[in-house]
Structure 1
Amino acid sequence: MQIRPADSDDQDGIGAMVAKRVRWMKAQGLPVSTRVAEAMAEQAGDEAVPNWVLLDDGKIVGCTSIYTESPPWAFTEEEQAVPALFLASTWTVPNNRRLGWTLALWTLDHAVRKGHREVRRGTFAPALVRYYTDVQGWSILRQVERRGKTCTFLARAAEERPDLGVLN
């Protein structure tokens, strides 16, 4: 597998991959907007949104956005001063290969290589909070009310992952 920055040529692949995930989520009874596939695809190549794609044999199987700043409405000034990456909008093709975990592990390694001390993420989904903490080892920082919903923010120390087997 390979991870690289997304470019405008990736729009169709990202859109198709996210649309597959959206269909899977709907079949599982999970709430999701059908517009998300188009929105994620439109971000490919947008310099304001740092998108990355995960490729398997040249085919897009995942994407994520990785910011160098964390949302100011969720983190204190002191926390903002800590060099960290913020992992957002991760989408993967539905399968049993744990591709989202692959993207998260790669981000932990990428953070170290870029001089960051931690990686942060947030979610509005309680099931994802349990998965991130129980399975992936993230720690809960806090919960913040935002637009009538509760967002849980998590963090994990950046760490080298030479065993990952994903090329940059």
Structure 2
Amino acid sequence: MYVMRPATGADVPAYAALIRDRAAWMVRRGLEGGEELPDRADQIAARAADDHTPVWAMTDAEGRLIGCTSLYEETPHWGWTDTERAEPALFLATTFTDPAHRAERPGALIAWWALGHAARMDKEWVRRGCGHLGLVHYYRDVQGFELVHTTERHGHPAYLLARKAEELADLPIRSTINA
């Protein structure tokens, strides 16, 4: 059983280490994006201590950090229409998981947990974006998200995906808060 809870400043060192482990795993496999992550790990992990950034931590039964993600209550303005942005949604971003737990699919579990979390908050959608086609295929084929828009952000392709919020049964994950 995994637990999803709001991240805290105490999670920052483990979160930074998790990002570095993930980056090394990505580089070993020739996956895009891993090369620049070690230089950004401390900056990304510091968001867990920022009360203005909604970072969530996934821990195992012993309390070890398995993954982190950010879950924003506003859809970003870039790439989404005004009508879409007006719909109640959560925006899932900056998800990192421990590659040692890859077989358990913690990234998918986090995304599926977010669907139920959004439904409990009376949101209609969970949205996310990424910059690599490999992630688009994973988010679509494994996690059930639909590609909605392709745009450009900071001179690079950005792929925007969405899935209807819903409670999924029998996930091996619980939340420390009701919403």
TM-score (normalised: structure 2):
0.90
Amino acid at match of 1:123: C
CA distance in structure 2 between the aligned counterparts of 1:134 and 1:87, rounded to whole angstroms: 17
SS class of match (2:103): coil
CA distance in 2, matches of 1:153, 1:36: 23
Q: Which runs of 4+ in 1 moved over 2 A?
A: none
Q: Distance in 1 between matches of 2:142 and 2:63?
A: 28
1:38 to 35, 39, 42: 42
RMSD: 1.1
Matches within 5 A, 1:62-73: 62-73=67-78
Deviation per CA, 1:123-142, whole angstroms, max 9, x where unpaired?
Answer: 10101111111222111111
Distance 2:145 2:94 in 1: 17
Name stretches of at least 5 consecutive residues in structure 1 with no aligned partner: none
Query: In structure 2, which of residues 147, 151, 156 is the aligned counterpart of residue 140 of structure 1?
Result: 147
**2:95 aligned with 1:90, yes or no?**
yes
| Partner SS for 1:96 | helix
Q: Indicate which of 107, 123, 128 corresponds to 2:135.
A: 128
Q: CA deviation at 1:45?
A: 2.1
- Kindly state the Cα deviation for residue 40 of structure 1 after the two structures are TM-superposed: 2.1
SS of 1:80's equivalent in the other structure is helix
Aligned residues: 168
- Percent sequence identity is 41
Deviation string, structure 1 residues 60-105 (Cα, Å, up to 9, x no partner)? 0100000001110121111111000000000000021110000000
TM superposition score normalised by structure 1: 0.96
What is the one-letter code of the residue matched to 1:88?
A
2:42 matches 1:26: no
The aligned residue for residue 167 of structure 2 is 160
Segments of structure 2 that go 5 or more residues without pairing to the other structure are none
CA distance in 1, matches of 2:165, 2:4: 18
